[in-house]
Amino acid sequence: MTEPTRLLARHASSFHVASRLLRRRDARDIATLYAFCRHVDDLADLSAGPNHELDELRAALSGDTEDPASLAPVRELARRRGLDLAPLLTLVETVRGDATHPVRIADQVDLTDYCYGVAGTVGELMCPLLGADPGRAREPAVALGIAMQMTNIARDVLEDARCGRRYLPGAWVGGLEPTEIADGSATARARVPAAVRRLVALADTYYGLAENGMRLLPKRNRAAIRVAATLYRAIGTRLAARGGDYLAGRTRLGDGERYWLAAASLLGLRSRPARPHGPRRPAPAPLLVAPLPERTRRAHRDANAVPGAGRPDLAREPAGTQACSATPRAPGPTSAQDYPPDPCPRPRTGAVGALGSRP
């Protein structure tokens, strides 16, 4: 087992289960990509202020300086597999913003923007590694990355709050500070579980969008990615089933449950985890992917970050109409439509990771 594969097994156990189904070369290359993304994430976690290593990576990916040694495996991978590393620059910029500014996600647009930066970007990078046409598969790949990151955020609310971070939109929780969430104040206990359920419902919409792209993958890799999506989605289902209780401890799947869900997914016994309650919802409408304009920077990002273009706008249609919620759904206790519309008075500011940016 190579060192990148060991990292994947140690820090991303659910994806590691699925990765065993990948074609051998693809599994090895995806592990290399994961190892780099993990390195970037670790740099942010270790930093309490400006991070020179992240600055070096950003400058190198922008073409301003020579590559640091940590970038060499990814450059080699990009040459060999035809990867466009532009999304990697977005990932580094986003993680750099996490390391230098207090994380306070404002609203649903801000949330989607962040999830694209740290995870949708990785979905883009994985397209050629999985044998998919990046042009055709980009939208569902980004959607799956966003869905998985939303699951991560819903699962890790307490852990993040203890680190001084709040990824739940302030508009959903009345602007609660991380300390209030971590302390389990009466207001937090009243507001946060509903926000967690809402986030799980929103993630479920993105999982549905990702499913539309599974047919674009080679058969063996398709099975692996479907298993990975099933396992992550099951975490959200369990969170919703316990009412979004973020104080009850981190939601995990046991080894036996992971393997059972993987087998069931492969056999077609259960294409998605059963919803804890409520009627089945119709499939969501597809997202539109459009180039983004130049954008201003929000407080949780570095004001000097390099603006980019051509990144997926997964929170708005090009004309500006909100499209996050896709098609109307039958009412149900865990549907995103059961909640008031997210206030989005400001224009979207752009994308700001990950195959497993968190374990």
* Residue 332: burial class (beta carbons within 10 Å; 0-12, 13-18, 19+): middle
Residue 222 lies in a domain: yes
322: β partners? 316
Residue 350 lies in a domain: no
**In terms of residue numbers, what domain contains 195?**
3-338
Residue 274 lies in a domain: yes
Contacting residues for 137 by C-beta, under 8 A, at least 6 apart: 127, 130, 213, 216, 217
Residue 353 lies in a domain: no
Q: The whole model's pTM is what?
A: 0.74
Angstrom CA distances, 220 to 4, 26, 77, stand at: 21, 11, 21
CB 93 within 8 A of CB 352: yes
Q: Find the CATH number of the domain harbouring 207.
A: 1.10.600.10
In SS3 terms, 63-111 reads as CCCCCCHHHHHHHHHHHHHCCCCHHHHHHHHHHHHHHHCCCECCCHHHH
Q: Quick: pLDDT tens for 43-81.
A: 887 765 567 889 999 999 999 999 999 999 999 999 999
Cα 299 to Cα 266: distance, rounded to the nearest angstrom: 44
pLDDT for 331: 34
Residue 359 lies in a domain: no
Residue 47 lies in a domain: yes
Angstrom CA distances, 145 to 16, 117, 256, stand at: 16, 10, 25
Q: Which residue has the higher pLDDT, 53 or 1?
A: 53
Please, how many CA atoms are within 13 Å of residue 62, restricted to the half-sphere of its CB? 15
Domains of the chain: total: 1
Q: If you ran DSSP here, which 8-state letter would residue 166 be given?
A: B
Q: Which helix (H) or strand (E) holds 58?
A: helix 52-61
Cα 8 to Cα 68: distance, rounded to the nearest angstrom: 22
Q: Quick: pLDDT tens for 144-192.
A: 999 999 999 999 999 999 999 999 999 999 999 999 999 999 999 999 9
Cα 70 to Cα 125: distance, rounded to the nearest angstrom: 17
Residue 59 lies in a domain: yes
Q: Quick: pLDDT tens for 90-132.
A: 999 999 988 888 889 999 999 999 999 999 999 999 999 999 9
Residue 352 lies in a domain: no
Burial call 12-40: b when 16+ CB within 10 Å, e when fewer = bbbbbbbbebbeeebbbbbbbbbbbbbbb
Q: Quick: pLDDT tens for 215-261.
A: 999 998 998 898 889 888 988 988 999 999 999 888 777 666 666 67
Q: Kindly report the average pLDDT of the chain as a whole number.
A: 75
